[in-house]
Amino acid sequence: MKSKNTILVIVVLLVCGTFYWFMLREDAGRHQPKVQRPFAAVEASSWQRLEFAAPEKKPVTLVKKDDRWQVEGMEKCEVKTEMVEHILAALQELRLDSLVTSGKEKFADYQVDEQKGIRVHGIAAGKPMGLVVGKVAADFMHTYVRLEGDQRIFRVNGLIGHLFAHDPADFCQEKDEKKKESKDSPKPEAGGKPPVSPKK
């Protein structure tokens, strides 16, 4: 009886040890030194083009002409400037926190593959750059990404996927918003003169 119990304990220990070794092997990349590498070392104002392609969303292309952003293929669309500025600020602050792993065989595990990843591509200061945004980390404080044309998978601070998962129409102001802006804008007086603010 004792021998059976001993064998059972040994088997359990072997199983636990194997599982622990496997987990350490899978997470080995997470213990690599932090690199804190900026994604885009350029000014936010230097971006001329942005492209987003997310699963179950229509591709979006934003182009800046005469210092104004436009949705390509939607001439009547008045772009939500604050929305674009928010995205540009996020790209400006984006830092590759640490190297997790590398290799195409790992893409699907971290959802940085062509099927599930969110593709972000743009041109800033005449230089093309891009990344693929993957799944949220288990701590719900980081997101996995890989640079365009790179097999390395990094971890970045924050949950950033929602910033780029949009349809083209999401960037267009709705009629109610346009009416509100028009209503809030001061109207010129008769004769084309601007309204005069009352003196205090």
Q: Is residue 192 part of a domain?
A: no
Token pair listed for 16 = 């636990």
Sign for the CA dihedral angle at 99, 150, 163, 93 comes to positive
Does residue 50 fall inside a structural domain? yes
Cα–Cα nearest to 128, from 140, 117, 136, 120: 120
pLDDT, mean of residues 23-41: 59
Average pLDDT, the chain: 83
**Is 190 buried (19+), middle (13-18) or exposed (0-12) by CB count in 10 A?**
exposed
For range 162-185, the mean pLDDT = 76
What's the total number of domains in the chain?
1
Instruction: State the average pLDDT over residues 100-123.
Output: 97
pLDDT at 40: 87
Cβ–Cβ contacts within 10 Å for residue 119, how many?
18
pTM above 0.85, yes or no: no
Q: Which domain holds residue 52?
A: 32-172
Cβ atoms of 95 and 156 within 8 Å: the answer is yes
Q: Is 27 within a domain?
A: no
